Structure 1
Amino acid sequence: MILRNRPLFIVNVSNPRAFSGNGSIITLELTDEDAALRVAAKIASETGRSVTVRKENMEVVGRISASTRH
């Protein structure tokens, strides 16, 4: 249940090569900006994908670059 009086932050991960070339999008909705940025950083670290965090009006709050693995 999303509380309408709290702002909504959207964490979005896109992977156009996933699932045999059909692509995939992961979208999470959170009501805490700091938590959204922490989740985005963890996803970027674990998946090696860039992650974007946006407000519900689609304004970009932050972009976490894909991590490079050695």
Structure 2
Amino acid sequence: MIQKPPLIVLDVSNPAAFSGKGSIIVLEYTNEDAAMRVARKIARETGRAVTIRSEDMRVIGSIPAATTH
């Protein structure tokens, strides 16, 4: 039996999205380092917070939303 590597989930959220006009984006990865690189890039380029979770939804890391000064 072939075992699949555990999934790593990136949950991209926009704090203002819950007014009914936003969205939640979920991406799945199998490599934690690649997932962290993508999470940092998404947070930087979109200004959104990104949470990195294991397959069992345990938080691996969190990138806060970028702030502008």
TM-score, with normalisation over the residues of structure 1?
A: 0.82
Q: How many residues align?
A: 67
Q: Deviations over 1:4-61 (max 9, x none)?
A: 520100000112534xx32210000001000001110000000111100000100000
For the aligned residue pairs, the C-alpha RMSD in angstroms reads 2.0
Question: Within 1, Cα distance between the matches of 2:39 and 2:61?
Answer: 9
* Equivalent position of 2:58 in the other structure: 59
Aligned to 2:34, what secondary structure does the other structure show? Answer: helix
* Equivalent position of 2:68 in the other structure: 69
5+ residue gaps, structure 1: none
Structure 1 runs, 4 residues or longer, greater than 3 Å off: none
Share of identical aligned residues, percent? 59
Aligned to 2:33, what secondary structure does the other structure show? Answer: helix
